[in-house]
Structure 1
Amino acid sequence: MPADRKDSMTSHLLDQPHHDGSALHVPPGTPALGDTVPVRVRVPRAAGVTGVWLRTVRDGEPRLVAARPDGGTDEETSYVAEVDVHNPVTPYRFLLDGPGGYRWLDGRGVHAREVPDAGSFRLTTHAPAPAWLGDGLVYQVFPDRFARSGAAISRPAPDWAVPASWDDEPAGDGPLAGTQLFGGDLDGIVEHLDHLEALGVGTLYLTPVFPGRSNHRYDASTFAAVDPLLGGDAAYARLADAVHARGMRLMGDITTNHTGAGHEWFTRALADPAAPERDLFVWAEPGGADVATTPAGEGYASWLGFGSLPKLDWGSDETWHRMVTGPDAPIGRYLRAPYHLDGWRVDVANMTGRWGSDDRTHDVARALRAAIGRENPEAALVAEHFHDATADLLAGGWHANMNYTGFTRPVWSWLALDGSPVAAHGLPVAGVRRPGGSMVAAMRDFDAGVPWSVTARQWNMLGSHDTPRLRTVVGPDAVELAVTLLLTYPGTPVVFAGDEVGATGDNGEHARTTMAWDQAAHGGPRWDAATLEVYRRLAAVRRGSSALRDGGMRWAVVEDDAVVFLRESPAERVLVVVARGPWSGVTLPGRLLAPGAEPEPLYGEVPVSAGPQGLRVSGDGPGVAVVRLA
């Protein structure tokens, strides 16, 4: 036993009552208004509960009904009560009576105190994201940095660009960060789809492919064509065909909050005050916050004050026509032949339609969902929202969100290198290494704020084109721990191209590194084959497990240096152990194992064994274990 391991044994959380929105507790499917949905809570005998009530909120008023015992085991009783689906989103939680007084069970846990409704479980009549979104990894590609085809080399650089060699280091700040052009293109992606398939990718997501005056292309100059630097419309169609031929999906990236200042609509608006394009943008008094100024002295709203990104006005019928409802509107057009996109990720979705007293975000989100649904009922709509997206995710628009606050930041905070110089993402302060309880509390807070149908499809990431690289934040030794959490936690795992081979980067721009394809066969300083194997093996484990893909989530142990949780589906139970250092270990109840079964290791080296006292989880660490129990 390591000398620095704690002496006392760890207690577990499995004697607490439990409920989540998965199939073991709530019938599958999306309820309609007027439906009655039975919900189930599991109450261990050790919890000392003598009565259970279901508390719902109907038309703003709480209601209580008694739950009835309905099956169970010698060690656990199951209680059931019915939720009347009278509102599009129905919050509910459980009242537990017993020695010591009543307690509440909600999405954040069991509380011997009053709690706000913000943490309640929720049923919703809004349909969830399509099931395919969680079938495999989502793989994010920044097109300029992934791969060059032979044709890319001969394309001349535009006047705004500074050409770079493929092995150059990306600029992390200054003008070069947006103008450094490496020349990756769409046919280059086609040439490396074998890599994605071997990794277990189900969906390829590309950042914007529309032309602009930057390497990131979030400053579109048109939505009517694909950037010729990437190969143009024909190359996009070839990529779509190649992706779909392999059984994968393709998602695009669009800016509904703004265009580029070089966009054909904005240039017409500046050239002619009577042009219909004037109605597409938000005009404001010069000198205000987030207001830029035209050469003629007019003020216009822009993204965070960047004049290169003028803000669209969703109070205008013309904007709706150009973006959503018109026959050539990009939201629907790219879901049709020859591209057949499978959905959109929407840039700065949280700002779309919001300006001062105007707030049309939810209307826009619902309209986008309806528009893509008309083209493809199985299309997905994912928002970018860097902070608290819970209110926006209840409105029936976005299917899911890029889950920075509910997954990325909590995981980083637990695994961050001590004294890391990397800034906390989006904050003007250094990152911090926190105990496991802080990570889990943050995860539970954000998961509890949305229906389970949303949690189960959230885009969980360990980094993106807007963040430092995982390896830089946590160090090479903790990458496996982070990837284990990514591939076993509820939601859709998203991988930014390069993370799987050990890419590094201090901030979002610096992290946009190229792929070192010349090192793929034999490894090298920019291609870590061992890290790639971790991703591949864990992706395969997830792909082969109904519990990891679709099961519920039950925390078993939350310690400073270790977390243990269960993923459970009707067909399977999987135990996940992630330890960032040595800890005391734990003995879990023997009822977790199927009768006569032994723990079946699926991944990792931390020992998990069955004994007369129960299921023993070793305190070895750092390390991980993914173990099938039933």
Structure 2
Amino acid sequence: MGSQAPRRRTLRVRAAVPEGAAENTVELLGEMGDWQSGKSLVPLTGAPPGEVWAEAALDLPPGVHAYKLRVGGHWTLDLDNARTRAKGLHRNNILSIGGAPEPLLFAPAPPFVHVPEEGGLAVVAALRHGHGERLALLCDEPGSPQKISMRALVEEKEHRLFAAHLPAHGAPVRMRFEIDDGRILGREDAPGEPFVWEAKREDELPSWWKDAVVYTIFVDRFAPRPGAPWGPDPGRNRPAFGHLDGVRRALPRLADLGVTVLYLTPIIVAASCHRYDLVDPLRVDPALGGEDSFRRLLDEAHARGLRVLVDLAFSHAGRGFPPYEDVRRKGLASPFASWFCWSPSSSSDKPARLRHYGRRKDAPLLDLDHPDVRALVLDAAARWAGDGVDGIRLDMAAEVPIDLAREIRKVLRARRPDAVMLGELVPGHAFRWRSEGALDCATDFGFHTAAVDFLAKRTLSAEDAASELLSLELGRGAVPGASLRFVSTHDHPRFSTLARQHGGAGRSLLGLFLLLASPGVPALLYGEELDLSAETPVAEPEDVWPDRMPMPLSLDAHGARAFAFVRSMIALRARLPSLRRGNLEILFAEGGLLVLRRAFAGEVVDVAVNAGEPVEIDLEDDEHPGLQVLLSLGEVLAGGQTLRLGRDSAAIATRTSR
């Protein structure tokens, strides 16, 4: 992270009151938080009719923070801030702290700067349209000034994104920018002065995580206790009676597949079979085998070289949680009432009501700012870290206060210095949590959306998919290992289910192919290696019970073929550093054909995925004329530097200078 300290900032906003708004309440939402929980602003007097003025005191680190206002429940822009950025369907205001003036978006902080795998410094900046076609990076190193032409990579609605790589350098790095008209842009708050970046490397990701392949196990639906019956899908919200000893019995097969990390959905005592509604976060559920079964699983996994992550969910409790049961009996008179979130009463004859998770009426939201709740959370983190787990997956991390997430990570790292703190983040600005020391890695739902829309649903062209993938790379602000990527989750329909729903089984393995050939840490959902799918998909997130079917105990012929292919793909990824740690370049994107290049430490690999009609493409490269297909899916032919790809096919080819 950068060397500059957080700065106190008073933000004054002016907004039009949207037609139909019942009140003039003003909330601030954006990248200073999770885009969900608004910060109520202090109203100011003097606003003319139809407008509202307000202000907020913010403690934010240097950076470019997108935000928007919600007035009377309606989204609107800050009329006194002309700086905006439009990405996709959304246009937001920009708050720049220690950043560049218009027409440039840049600050010496993630995601605009980071230290990449190959060393040096990766720099990204966004130039507003209408201010030139080129951008140069000026590196003001004493005695060796450099001027580097930045590459234009992504077009947004209001900006063009540029990137450059500085080779090995001293620290700190001093930077400015030059645009087409000759203007030199430095710090907005100190005109003419360069930006200063000094990387801190003490919180680097452990190497085992950067090379990981994660396997997600929905524990209740994965395997029974040895010898116990294992029948058909029991249906929505009904337990299948999965067992930790069943997971342990599967370790040889998982090791043979090539996965290196097991991620277990919650195994604590909880109210439901998915166990995200805590009852006792300090105990392994006896129904899963209890402490002894977990200890055996952890020890045998470690003996086989497999790492284990546990899932901790603290957003809400369930029936049986003692404080909740006390509140159910006594209401606000309970000494535990303040542990939970309440909806304020609208009138004297309507008492305050407990707030619950989603549409449930038996899952009260915990107040994660309450000291006793925070103490319970940290006790749970210490308990699992003390057991020797290799990491924690923090459920709904965007709803956990950043300072609490930071403390959880400190507790974990104090007991397991090489452990990983993984956060489930839906927002696309995971760099905020990482730069604050709250997370090491975050889920990348942007990749999930792009892969599903391009390859399963076919609602995204290769051109748009390429733009989305590049935007994700430029917006990460960290090495690829900081993103956990996937094409299926236990909260969404499986990729294979969607592929069959939208066009047939022929495309069902393309998602895993792209995943395992892309930057980031890949995560497979249990059964994906067997091409498992549901007959009746449910699109509602978190209610996809048909896709949470019990794992088959034996392989049929189709599952065996899928397993063999996925094992080969994982083995190739393990053999080629370029597939694990290489950067991403788009060689071709048109119609249904996407060709990527991955390169690292002199190794160059091309990845072609065809989601359209049969096609032939010439991958002529004078510097790397040798082309050898290492692995293919579907109909693929190679001749010279030409690839012929059938419909729903893909290939990975190594390039050599020969």
The one of 120, 137, 162 equivalent to 1:53 is 137
Q: Hey, what does 2:530 align to over in structure 1?
A: 501
Whole-Å separation in 2 of the counterparts to 1:434 and 1:103: 38
Q: Secondary structure at the match of 1:201?
A: coil
Please say if residues 602 and 627 of structure 1, whose CA atoms lie closer than 8 Å, have aligned partners that are also in contact: yes
Please say if residues 115 and 478 of structure 2, whose CA atoms lie closer than 8 Å, have aligned partners that are also in contact: no
Q: Hey, what does 2:313 align to over in structure 1?
A: 255
Whole-Å separation in 2 of the counterparts to 1:274 and 1:194: 53
Whole-Å separation in 2 of the counterparts to 1:271 and 1:369: 35
Q: Hey, what does 2:233 align to over in structure 1?
A: 169
Cα distance, 1:297 vs structure 2: 5.8
Cα distance, 1:416 vs structure 2: 2.3
2:343 corresponds to 1:302: no
Whole-Å separation in 2 of the counterparts to 1:39 and 1:285: 48
User: Cα gap change, 1:618/1:502 in structure 2, threshold over 3 Å: closer, same or farther?
Assistant: closer
Q: Hey, what does 2:396 align to over in structure 1?
A: 348
Q: Hey, what does 2:499 align to over in structure 1?
A: 474
Whole-Å separation in 2 of the counterparts to 1:207 and 1:281: 24
2:520 corresponds to 1:462: no
Whole-Å separation in 2 of the counterparts to 1:39 and 1:474: 36
Give the aligned CA root-mean-square deviation in angstroms: 3.6
Whole-Å separation in 1 of the counterparts to 2:423 and 2:600: 28
The one of 540, 548, 552 equivalent to 1:512 is 548
Task: Tell me the amino acid that sits aligned with residue 201 of structure 1.
Answer: V
2:451 corresponds to 1:403: no
2:382 corresponds to 1:332: yes
The one of 356, 374, 385 equivalent to 2:414 is 374
Whole-Å separation in 2 of the counterparts to 1:320 and 1:29: 39
Whole-Å separation in 2 of the counterparts to 1:565 and 1:202: 25
Q: Secondary structure at the match of 1:374?
A: helix
Cα distance, 1:452 vs structure 2: 2.8
Percent identity over paired residues: 25
Cα distance, 1:315 vs structure 2: 2.1
Runs of 5+ unmatched residues, structure 1 = 1-20, 31-36, 42-48, 57-64, 70-76, 105-121, 154-165, 172-176, 289-295, 353-360, 418-431
Please say if residues 118 and 600 of structure 2, whose CA atoms lie closer than 8 Å, have aligned partners that are also in contact: no
Please say if residues 566 and 573 of structure 1, whose CA atoms lie closer than 8 Å, have aligned partners that are also in contact: yes
Please say if residues 350 and 384 of structure 1, whose CA atoms lie closer than 8 Å, have aligned partners that are also in contact: yes
Please say if residues 223 and 242 of structure 2, whose CA atoms lie closer than 8 Å, have aligned partners that are also in contact: yes
2:578 corresponds to 1:553: no
Task: Tell me the amino acid that sits aligned with residue 248 of structure 1.
Answer: L
Task: Tell me the amino acid that sits aligned with residue 397 of structure 1.
Answer: A
Whole-Å separation in 2 of the counterparts to 1:401 and 1:133: 12
Q: Hey, what does 1:563 align to over in structure 2?
A: 594
Q: Secondary structure at the match of 2:468?
A: helix
Q: Hey, what does 1:606 align to over in structure 2?
A: 636
Count of aligned positions = 490
Whole-Å separation in 2 of the counterparts to 1:624 and 1:95: 41
Please say if residues 116 and 478 of structure 2, whose CA atoms lie closer than 8 Å, have aligned partners that are also in contact: no
User: Cα gap change, 1:297/1:26 in structure 2, threshold over 3 Å: closer, same or farther?
Assistant: closer
Cα distance, 1:396 vs structure 2: 2.6
Please say if residues 280 and 319 of structure 1, whose CA atoms lie closer than 8 Å, have aligned partners that are also in contact: yes
User: Cα gap change, 1:317/1:590 in structure 2, threshold over 3 Å: closer, same or farther?
Assistant: same
Please say if residues 555 and 566 of structure 1, whose CA atoms lie closer than 8 Å, have aligned partners that are also in contact: yes
Q: Secondary structure at the match of 2:651?
A: strand
Whole-Å separation in 1 of the counterparts to 2:465 and 2:384: 39
What does 1:67-146 correspond to in 2, within 5 Å? 67=147, 125=200, 127-146=203-222
Whole-Å separation in 2 of the counterparts to 1:29 and 1:345: 28
User: Cα gap change, 1:78/1:301 in structure 2, threshold over 3 Å: closer, same or farther?
Assistant: closer
2:374 corresponds to 1:320: yes
Task: Tell me the amino acid that sits aligned with residue 551 of structure 2.
Answer: M
What does 1:190-589 correspond to in 2, within 5 Å? 190-270=248-328, 277-285=336-344, 298-324=352-378, 329-336=379-386, 339-352=387-400, 361-390=401-430, 391-404=432-445, 406-417=446-457, 433-453=459-479, 455-475=480-500, 476-505=505-534, 506-507=537-538, 508-517=544-553, 519-520=554-555, 523=556, 528-582=559-613, 584-589=615-620
User: Cα gap change, 1:621/1:151 in structure 2, threshold over 3 Å: closer, same or farther?
Assistant: closer
User: Cα gap change, 1:363/1:40 in structure 2, threshold over 3 Å: closer, same or farther?
Assistant: closer
Please say if residues 210 and 227 of structure 1, whose CA atoms lie closer than 8 Å, have aligned partners that are also in contact: yes
Task: Tell me the amino acid that sits aligned with residue 228 of structure 1.
Answer: P
Cα distance, 1:261 vs structure 2: 3.6
Please say if residues 117 and 581 of structure 2, whose CA atoms lie closer than 8 Å, have aligned partners that are also in contact: no
User: Cα gap change, 1:363/1:562 in structure 2, threshold over 3 Å: closer, same or farther?
Assistant: same
Whole-Å separation in 2 of the counterparts to 1:54 and 1:211: 57
Q: Secondary structure at the match of 1:401?
A: strand
Cα distance, 1:269 vs structure 2: 4.7
Cα distance, 1:379 vs structure 2: 0.9
Cα distance, 1:602 vs structure 2: 1.4
Please say if residues 401 and 459 of structure 1, whose CA atoms lie closer than 8 Å, have aligned partners that are also in contact: yes
Cα distance, 1:311 vs structure 2: 1.7
User: Cα gap change, 1:411/1:27 in structure 2, threshold over 3 Å: closer, same or farther?
Assistant: closer
Please say if residues 279 and 317 of structure 2, whose CA atoms lie closer than 8 Å, have aligned partners that are also in contact: yes
The one of 621, 636, 643 equivalent to 1:590 is 621
Please say if residues 574 and 627 of structure 1, whose CA atoms lie closer than 8 Å, have aligned partners that are also in contact: yes
Task: Tell me the amino acid that sits aligned with residue 623 of structure 1.
Answer: S
Task: Tell me the amino acid that sits aligned with residue 67 of structure 1.
Answer: K
Q: Secondary structure at the match of 1:335?
A: helix
Q: Secondary structure at the match of 1:184?
A: coil
The structure with the largest strand share of the pair is 2
Q: Secondary structure at the match of 1:600?
A: strand
1:375-417 Cα shifts (integer Å, max 9, x gaps): 111111111123434344443312222222x211111111225
Q: Which has the higher contact order (CA 8 A, sep 6+)?
A: 1
1:126-149 Cα shifts (integer Å, max 9, x gaps): 734322124232111111111112
TM-score, normalization by structure 1: 0.70
Q: Secondary structure at the match of 2:546?
A: coil
Q: Hey, what does 2:86 align to over in structure 1?
A: none
Cα distance, 1:81 vs structure 2: 9.1
Task: Tell me the amino acid that sits aligned with residue 354 of structure 2.
Answer: Y
User: Cα gap change, 1:349/1:68 in structure 2, threshold over 3 Å: closer, same or farther?
Assistant: closer
Q: Secondary structure at the match of 2:410?
A: helix
